[in-house]
Amino acid sequence: MAGEKKEALLEIRDLKVNYKVYKGTLKVLNGVELRVGKGERIGLVGESGSGKTTTLKSILRILPYNASIEDGRILYKGIDLLRADERVLNEVRRREIAMIFQDPMAALNPVFKVRDQLYDIIKESARGKLAKEEIEEIAYRLLKEVRLPDVERVMDSYPFQLSGGMRQRVVIAMALASARELLLADEPTTNLDVTIQDQILRLLADLTMKRNLSVILVSHALGMVRKMTDRTYVMYAGDIVEEGDSGEIFENPLHPYTQLLVETAPKLTGNWNPRGVPGRIPDYLNPPPGCRFHTRCPFAEQICREKKPPMIAVEGGKRVRCWLYYKR
């Protein structure tokens, strides 16, 4: 949907996040800018360590204790979540924005049955008080919707009694119970078999589409991101380096980093190619000045080492943060 401006649901502006570690301060997010329209499906890609999870956790304000948000705004329906009080944040977390984590076990409590955990979430996310039968009905319907066989048995299971794929379906059901506006899916299929990965991603695509939910999907499976999302943001070392229609981004990548990312990605399977982009992500203790990618870029010039490039609008509604596209 090139050029079509949907009403913004979420807008991240100039987000800077650091982590304190023993050796000093890791300057990770370096001014992230990202926008999600209502009902829009966004892909967020980039190699391991680029800051994707940090970005998603910032939205829900669930960063670890050693993280600090240095700057920026996260406008959700016009409210800045970085400055909102706990009451507002909890409301948003309970009812509007949900996150699916890389590890499904992290979202599940090992000592409670699926039934209890799902009921709790449904109760919490309801506006008023629900009768027991209503809660049961919603839970049952959700587990059916994520296509779990033998719903009764699943309800009475502890998380460890389920397979990885089943667990992730339960996690999706829980997320759907509380996400009325936006779903943050952080590599929802990493720990699963390749065949199951595909099924789960399709299921997610299906259910979110049906509900007209906005989605941010983080995945190394570029083929799936391309199929499942409207627009994609490419992240490198804490910067968004390219954004545009998902089809365009993967077919005609402009940023040298995106080009390498697409070239070195496996074509069909969802697995990350261990070869990947040559070189390594920079040290966040001392990130390179200028364009953070210049240390690995085959086209780097003097200016790239000195000055961070601006986001440059190019044809096809794409934007790219690279001096190569700057008209001098």
Ligand X SMILES: Nc1ncnc2c1ncn2[C@@H]1O[C@H](COP(=O)(O)OP(=O)(O)OP(=O)(O)O)[C@@H](O)[C@H]1O
Q: Does 219 bind Mg ion (CB under 5 A)?
A: no
Which residue in 51, 165, 270, 309 binds ligand X (CB under 6 A)?
51
From residue 278 to residue 317, the character string flagging contacts with ligand X as x (rule: CB under 6 A) and all else as - is: ------x---------------------------------
Tokens 């049952």 -> residue:
140
Nearest to 101 by CA among 161, 178, 171, 200: 171
273: which 2 tokens? Answer: 């190619």
Binding at 21: pick from ligand X, Mg ion, none (beta carbon under 5-8 Å per type): ligand X
Pick one of ligand X, Mg ion, none as the site partner of residue 50 (Cβ within 5 to 8 A by kind).
Answer: ligand X
Considering only CA atoms, which of 307, 302, 310 is closest in space to residue 326? 310
Say which residues have a Cβ less than 8 Å from residue 268's Cβ, sequence separation at least 6: 223
Class of residue 206 by CB neighbours under 10 A (exposed 0-12, middle 13-18, buried 19+): middle
Q: Which positions from 21 through 50 interact with ligand X, judged by CB under 6 A? A: 21, 26, 28, 46, 48-50
Residue nearest to Mg ion (CB): 53
Residue 64 C-beta: closest distance to ligand X, Å: 4
Q: Tell me the backbone φ, ψ of residue 200, rounded to 5 degrees.
A: -65, -40
Q: What angle do CA 242, 244, 248 make, to 5 degrees?
A: 105
Q: Which residues contact 25 (CB under 8 A, 6 or more apart)?
A: 18, 19, 285
Residues in CB range of 216: below 8 A, 6 or more apart: 34, 36, 42, 43, 44, 56, 182, 183, 184, 185
Does position 214 bind Mg ion by CB under 5 A? no
Which is nearer to Mg ion, 53 or 197 (by Cβ)?
Answer: 53
Number of C-beta neighbours around residue 115 at 10 A: 18
189 touching ligand X, by CB under 6 A: no
Q: Which letter does DSSP use for residue 43 in this model?
A: E
Nearest residue (CB) to Mg ion, 39 versus 188: 188
Q: Which token pair is 229?
A: 């999302």
Quick one: CA dihedral 67, 170, 34, 84, positive or negative?
Answer: negative
Interface characters, 246-285, with ligand X (x: CB under 6 A): --------------------------------------x-
Q: Please give the C-alpha separations between residue 288 and each of 16, 28, 150, 316, in angstroms, as whole numbers.
A: 16, 12, 54, 30
Q: Does residue 237 belong to the site contacting ligand X (CB under 6 A)?
A: no
Residue 216 touches ligand X, criterion: CB under 6 A:
no
Q: Could you tell me if 122 and 177 are in contact, meaning their C-beta atoms sit under 8 angstroms apart?
A: yes
Query: Considering the complex, what minimum distance in angstroms separates the CB of residue 126 from ligand X?
Result: 32
Binding of Mg ion at residue 168 (CB under 5 A)?
no
- Alpha-carbon distance of 9 to 4, in angstroms, equals 15
Interaction residues for ligand X, span 5-24 (CB under 6 A): 19, 21
Q: According to CB under 6 A, which one of 30, 53, 117, 197 is a site residue for ligand X?
A: 53
Residue from 64, 274, 278, 298 touching ligand X (CB under 6 A): that is 64
239 or 245: CB nearest ligand X: 239
53 binds Mg ion (CB under 5 A): yes
Binding-site size for ligand X (CB under 6 A) equals: 15
Binding site for ligand X (CB under 6 A): 19, 21, 26, 28, 46, 48-54, 64, 66, 284
Point out which residues bind Mg ion (CB under 5 A). 52-53
